[in-house]
């Protein structure tokens, strides 16, 4: 069996580009044990580039809850918790992965309303949010991930 240490990934250029260290991401991945997105709801437009199944795999591999959102009414996040726990989840973000195509933008207002009606904070984000989060193995946030900032 070859020594693992001889074959560790090294990619200084992309570590700089993505502002992460591979060894730190691997350490966090081991610690997270596929639970990085535990109890995090991530929705996706039906027309997203590369298709919803691409992002479903990433979300579910990291323990998240995934839905395809088509703007036809809402869905309810069912929680088997008591009232005190429910209050704890209020004002948590719910994410909608979206591109900037006109058909995707049409569902944004409905998604925002559905999230607010459920006591959650709507975040309509570019796919880079999920990719950066998964690569770094920590939930990343920056307002530059918001589609509204990219659409401006």
Confidence of residue 21 (pLDDT cuts 50, 70, 90): confident
Distance CA 116, CA 106 (A): 17
Q: Are the CB atoms for 138 and 36 separated by under 8 Å? A: yes
CATH no., domain 30-151: 3.40.50.10190
Q: Which residue has the higher pLDDT, 47 or 26?
A: 47
Reported as a single tens digit per residue, the pLDDT across 94-133 is 999 999 999 999 999 999 999 999 899 999 999 999 999 9
Confidence of residue 143 (pLDDT cuts 50, 70, 90): very high
Reported as a single tens digit per residue, the pLDDT across 41-86 is 999 999 999 999 999 999 999 999 999 999 876 565 544 455 555 5
The domains of the chain are located at: 30-151
Distance CA 21, CA 26 (A): 9
Distance CA 39, CA 45 (A): 20
Considering the entire predicted model, what is its pTM? 0.81
Q: Are the CB atoms for 28 and 136 separated by under 8 Å? A: yes
Q: Are the CB atoms for 74 and 114 separated by under 8 Å? A: yes
**CB contact burial 94-117 (16+ within 10 A = b; e otherwise):** bbbbbbeeeebbebbeebbebbee
CA 78 to chain centre: 19
């Amino acid at each position: 069996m070859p020594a693992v240490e001889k074959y560790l990934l090294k990619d200084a250029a992309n570590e700089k580009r993505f502002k992460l260290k591979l060894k730190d991401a691997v350490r966090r991945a081991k610690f997270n044990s596929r639970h990085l997105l535990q109890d995090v709801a991530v929705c996706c437009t039906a027309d997203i580039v590369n298709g919803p199944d691409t992002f479903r795999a990433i979300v579910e591999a990291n323990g998240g809850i995934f839905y395809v959102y088509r703007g036809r009414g809402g869905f309810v996040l069912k929680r088997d918790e008591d009232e005190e726990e429910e209050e704890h989840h209020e004002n948590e973000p719910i994410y909608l992965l979206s591109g900037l195509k006109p058909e995707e933008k049409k569902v944004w207002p409905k998604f925002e309303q559905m999230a607010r009606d459920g006591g959650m904070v709507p975040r309509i984000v570019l796919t880079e949010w999920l990719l950066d989060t998964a690569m770094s193995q920590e939930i990343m946030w920056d307002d530059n991930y918001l589609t509204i900032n990219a659409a401006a």
